[in-house]
Amino acid sequence: MQDAPSAPPGASVTAGVLLAEPELVEVTRLVAGAPSLGRVLTHPRVQKNGLCLAGHTRGLVASRVQVLGETELSYLESLDPKLRAERCAQLFALRLSLVLVTRGAAPPTELLDAAQASATPMAVVELRSSRTIALVHQALDRLLAPSETRHGVLIDVHGMGTLLLGPSGIGKSECALFLVERGHRLVADDQVALTRTPSGTVVGKPPPLLRHHLELRGIGIVNVRELFGATAVRDEKNVDLVVELCPWDPEQPFDRLGLDDLHFDLLGVRLPMLRIPVQPGRNMAVILEVAARNQLLKRAGKHSARDFVAHLSERLGLGE
């Protein structure tokens, strides 16, 4: 059994932001604690701890979403009113970040009173517990995922999300334009918002204001979707290959054979990387297409450079 994914250190989201997620907002109604929706959640997994209602609060993490379902509510209703009020007050005294009551059930009066007295956000979700938990996990995985923004260009080349990095002015946007002309798809130019998913992939997309736009020196900002059509852009793409564009320098030891596979650490994910020199006269669009195609071959187990060296060694009698 795999451990639940943990949020990156320091990551948090408020209860209000979580409840405003599209998949939750239509099935949720807030019944208490509206002024305290700024309380933070720091864990991507909910807590469904019925023992807390029995007075055992050890192990409860206040910054996790607390879910009360049919079992928990039926237990509360089995208690006499005085004890029920005591247990509810004890629970909400822990300064919980958010409590969700599932199946659209009306919270017992004592539960609602304790939430209001402690100004704790509490909402009723119309769905059953299992579905509620699944939706909350999906939303928290997204909201608490490790993320960063990098200066670069992301383009879909033959289905390979290719992230172009390099110094300003090296020609990243021009490369993207050449590739779009050849039928490939722009994802993001200048700023690429990157997020690591729970499955271990890195997804890149543009900031909302830069979506579909490309900056070209001497021309300015152009809208790629309006110039080339809807098929020339996409809103997000997994990053499969990192390409660092470097100024041409004959003293730099650029790889000539491709035997050594370079890698780039992006949000803790190890991605294949190439360092490609840029100089006048090189057709960078074709070179980047070849880079993407070659990476597809490597994924399929076909490593052209190593196969070539193996055949050469065999021809020269250097094999074992």
Helices and strands (DSSP H and E) totals, the chain? 10, 16
CA pair distance 99, 92, nearest whole angstrom: 9
Strand-strand pairing, 147-157 and 202-205: unpaired
Span of 9-23, 81-95, 125-139, 201-215 with lowest mean pLDDT:
9-23
pLDDT-derived band at 2 (thresholds 50, 70, 90) equals very low
222-239 burial, b if ≥16 CB within 10 A, otherwise e? Answer: bebeeebeeebbbeebbb
pLDDT at 1: 34
The 10 Å CB-count burial string (b at 16+, else e) for 205-214 is: bbeeebbbbb
State residue 319's pLDDT score: 55
Q: Token pair for residue 259?
A: 């035997």
> Is the pLDDT assigned to residue 25 strictly greater than 50?
yes
State the DSSP H helix or E strand holding residue 65, giving kind and residue range, or none if neither. strand 65-68
Sheet strand arrangement including 122-125:
28-32, 122-125, 98-101, 65-68
Please give the mean pLDDT across all residues of the chain. 91
Please, what is the angle between helix 81-92 and helix 70-78, to 10°?
130
The mean per-residue pLDDT over the stretch 257-262 comes to 79
What distance separates the 2 farthest-apart alpha carbons in the chain?
A: 90
Point out the least confidently predicted range of 49-58, 95-104, 278-287, 301-310: 301-310
Written as one letter, the residue type at 256 is R
Task: Using the predicted structure, report yes or no on whether residue 162 has a pLDDT greater than 80.
Answer: yes
pLDDT cut 90: percent of the chain above it:
73
CA distance 235 to 276: 26
| The one catalytic residue among 141, 158, 190, 303 | 190
Q: Quick one: what percent of the chain has pLDDT higher than 70?
A: 96
pLDDT at 3: 41
Q: How many residues does the chain have?
A: 320
Task: Please give the domain boundaries of the chain with CATH numbers for all domains.
Answer: 13-143 (3.40.1390.20), 147-308 (3.40.50.300)
Per-position DSSP letters for 254-311, written without gaps between them: --SS--S-EEEEETTEEEEEEEEEE-TT--HHHHHHHHHHHHHHHHTT--HHHHHHHH
Point out which residues pair with 152 in neighbouring strands.
Answer: 190
- Alpha carbon distance 45, 66 (integer Å): 10
Catalytic residue check, 151:
yes
Residue 155 has pLDDT above 70, yes or no: yes
Query: Does the structure show a pLDDT above 90 at 259?
Result: no
Catalytic one among 29, 151, 263, 282? 151
pLDDT of residue 318: 65
Nearest to 107 by CA among 32, 39, 57: 32
Give the H/E segment covering residue 101. strand 98-101
Would you tell me how many other CB atoms lie within 10 Å of the CB of residue 131?
14
What does DSSP assign to residue 47?
B
The one catalytic residue in 172, 185, 205, 237 is: 172
DSSP string, 180-235: HHTT-EEEEEEEEEEEE-TTS-EEEE--GGGTTEEEETTTEEEEHHHHH-GGGB-S
| Residue 172 annotated to the active site | yes
Instruction: State yes or no: pLDDT of 314 exceeds 90.
Output: no
Confidence category of residue 97, pLDDT binned at 50, 70, 90:
very high
The per-residue pLDDT for 6 is 53
Q: Quick one: tokens of 84? A: 């029920």
Alpha-helical (H) ranges within 41-128 are 70-78, 81-92, 109-117
Average pLDDT for residues 248-267, to the nearest whole number?
A: 82
What is the DSSP-derived secondary structure letter of residue 48?
-
Cβ contact 286:158 at 8 Å: no
Q: What is the pLDDT of residue 10?
A: 54
Catalytic hit among 58, 82, 217, 256: 256
At 195-226, the pLDDT tens digits run: 998 888 999 999 999 999 999 988 999 999 99
